[in-house]
């Protein structure tokens, strides 16, 4: 979402380009990309009211002062992301990603071969099954809707998979998010909308005095900031006493974390697994002269106002022990069943 003041700024810059096309050099374009990104960051960056803008401006412009074209200016934007502490955002130009890679907790990828193979292959599908009498298992993977109607279709698929479990007769449900690296949060939340208790589920918190963007489910629809954003035809009935476990891995991230946050504070819910990926910020974006900039502008909070700046820590920590091919030997699934049964 482009803020009005920034839109005016872009219009001014665009006017400069239109009236000086013959004189515009590669160095001019590089400078304008840097200036426009700095301007956007001042207005919108999540850390905008906590940083020294004079120091940031000097460092970014110093890094890009000799840039002869836009491509040579891109490392200056990486400096900006680093000084903002923004590892979720990034800038994209001619197919290349310019991000700041933070020093994050080490993950030994060798311990997660099965999960990573499934993530990289894109083979994980929305699915469900009964693991024991009265206990269901629902897989919600990452998504990447790019065409009109795809998000609605994903929400319906999730709800259909849940409906197939006959949730009115379930004592407990396991929702597996271990392979869910993110995507669009709307269909993920809408797809399981009948599992939530009434009221606020979460919110995006902005710097300064800007009002939060709160989300919730009402009827068959998902609402963001009081406006309906998505709906599905109907929800199946759910046992009001159903207990729910959500499974996590170090790769559970972004929109999957938003789904987790939507369940935080709900009394019948437990999170079992590992500390999540830590992409609990939300990005806004703009494009200028072929450069697309995504920047963290808000952070997620749960229904009780608890803000998740870094990641989500499970209620029960179980490191590795994953066996997605044989759930009877999967340590996280077995721990989930133990809690669901009240043992």
Q: What is the pLDDT of residues 16-27, one digit of tens each?
A: 444 444 456 899
Query: By mean pLDDT, which of 20-29, 71-80, 92-101, 234-243 is the weakest?
Result: 20-29
**pLDDT given at position 24:** 62
Rounded distance, CA 268 to CA 225, Å?
Answer: 26
Rounded distance, CA 188 to CA 272, Å?
Answer: 19
pLDDT digits (tens, 9 = 90+) for 269-285: 999 999 999 999 999 99
**pLDDT given at position 2:** 32
Tell me if 332 sits within 8 A of 131, measured CB to CB: no
Rounded distance, CA 135 to CA 155, Å?
Answer: 22
Kindly give the interhelix angle for 53-64 and 26-44, rounded to the nearest 10 degrees.
160
- Percent pLDDT > 90 in the chain is 88
Question: What does the CA dihedral 222, 228, 231, 233 come to, rounded to 10 degrees?
Answer: 120
Beta-carbon count within 10 A of 201 CB: 25
Rounded distance, CA 217 to CA 290, Å?
Answer: 37
Rounded distance, CA 129 to CA 21, Å?
Answer: 61
- Tokens for 148, please give them: 């009109």
pLDDT at residue 162 is higher than 90 = yes
**pLDDT given at position 105:** 75
Rounded distance, CA 103 to CA 106, Å?
Answer: 8
pLDDT at residue 261 is higher than 80 = yes
pLDDT at residue 14 is higher than 60 = no
Rounded distance, CA 272 to CA 175, Å?
Answer: 10
pLDDT digits (tens, 9 = 90+) for 114-151: 999 999 999 999 999 999 999 999 999 999 999 999 99
Rounded distance, CA 235 to CA 163, Å?
Answer: 8
Tell me if 13 sits within 8 A of 288, measured CB to CB: yes
Pick 300 or 13 by higher pLDDT.
300
**pLDDT given at position 291:** 96
Q: What is the mean pLDDT of residues 149-154?
A: 97
Q: Within 171-246, where are the H helices?
A: 185-191
- Tokens for 104, please give them: 């994050």
* β-bridge pairing 213-218 and 200-205: antiparallel
Length of the chain: 343
Burial label for 193, CB within 10 Å (0-12, 13-18, 19+), is buried
- Percent pLDDT > 70 in the chain is 93
**pLDDT given at position 308:** 97
Strand partners, 218: 221
Rounded distance, CA 68 to CA 270, Å?
Answer: 54
**pLDDT given at position 300:** 97
* β-bridge pairing 243-248 and 172-176: parallel
CA distances from 246 to 8, 28, 325 (A): 44, 51, 18
Mean per-residue pLDDT over the chain, rounded: 93
Tell me if 190 sits within 8 A of 155, measured CB to CB: yes
Give the chain's domains with CATH numbers: 4-98 (no CATH), 109-276+311-340 (3.90.226.10)
pLDDT at residue 13 is higher than 60 = no
Rounded distance, CA 272 to CA 67, Å?
Answer: 49
pLDDT digits (tens, 9 = 90+) for 282-319: 999 999 999 999 999 999 999 999 999 989 999 999 99
Rounded distance, CA 212 to CA 203, Å?
Answer: 6
Rounded distance, CA 140 to CA 193, Å?
Answer: 13
The reported pTM is 0.87
- Tokens for 48, please give them: 């905008």
pLDDT at residue 5 is higher than 60 = no
Q: Within the chain, where are the H helices?
A: 4-19, 26-44, 53-64, 70-84, 113-121, 150-163, 185-191, 255-263, 331-340
**pLDDT given at position 343:** 62
Query: Scanning the structure block, which residue is given the tokens 């589920």?
Result: 201
pLDDT digits (tens, 9 = 90+) for 198-257: 999 999 999 988 899 999 999 999 999 999 999 999 999 999 999 999 999 999 999 999
Tell me if 90 sits within 8 A of 41, measured CB to CB: no
pLDDT at residue 8 is higher than 70 = no
In our burial notation (b when 16+ CB lie closer than 10 A, e otherwise), range 13-22 reads: beeeeeeeee
**pLDDT given at position 158:** 99
């Amino acid at each position: 979402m482009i803020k009005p003041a920034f839109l005016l700024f872009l219009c001014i810059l665009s006017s400069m380009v239109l009236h000086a096309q013959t004189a515009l050099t590669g160095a001019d374009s590089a400078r304008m990309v840097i200036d426009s990104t700095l301007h956007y960051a001042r207005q919108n960056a999540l850390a905008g009211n906590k940083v020294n803008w004079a120091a940031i401006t000097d460092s970014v412009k110093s890094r890009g002062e000799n840039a002869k074209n836009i491509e040579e200016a891109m490392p200056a934007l990486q400096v900006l992301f680093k000084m903002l502490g923004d590892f979720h955002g990034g800038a994209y130009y001619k197919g290349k990603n310019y991000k700041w890679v933070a020093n994050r907790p080490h993950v030994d990828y060798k311990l997660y071969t099965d999960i990573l193979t499934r993530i990289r292959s894109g083979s994980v599908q929305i699915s469900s099954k009964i693991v024991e009498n009265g206990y269901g298992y629902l897989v919600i993977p990452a998504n990447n809707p790019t065409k009109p109607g795809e998000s609605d279709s994903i929400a319906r698929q999730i709800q259909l998979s849940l409906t197939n479990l006959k949730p009115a007769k379930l004592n407990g449900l396991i929702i597996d998010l271990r392979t869910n690296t993110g995507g669009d949060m709307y269909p993920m939340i809408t797809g399981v909308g009948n599992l939530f208790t009434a009221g606020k589920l979460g919110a995006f918190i902005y710097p300064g005095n800007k009002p939060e963007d709160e989300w919730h489910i009402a009827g068959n629809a998902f609402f963001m900031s009081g406006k309906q954003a998505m709906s599905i035809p109907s929800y199946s009935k759910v046992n009001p006493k159903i207990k729910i476990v959500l499974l996590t891995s170090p790769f559970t991230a972004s929109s999957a974390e938003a789904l987790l946050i939507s369940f935080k504070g709900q009394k019948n819910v437990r999170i079992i697994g590992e500390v999540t990926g830590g992409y609990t910020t939300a990005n806004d974006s703009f494009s200028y002269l072929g450069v697309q900039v995504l920047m963290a502008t808000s952070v997620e909070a749960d229904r009780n106002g608890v803000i998740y700046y870094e990641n989500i820590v499970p209620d029960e920590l179980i490191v590795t022990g994953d066996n997605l091919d044989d759930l009877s030997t999967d340590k996280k699934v077995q721990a989930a069943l133990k809690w669901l049964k009240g043992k």
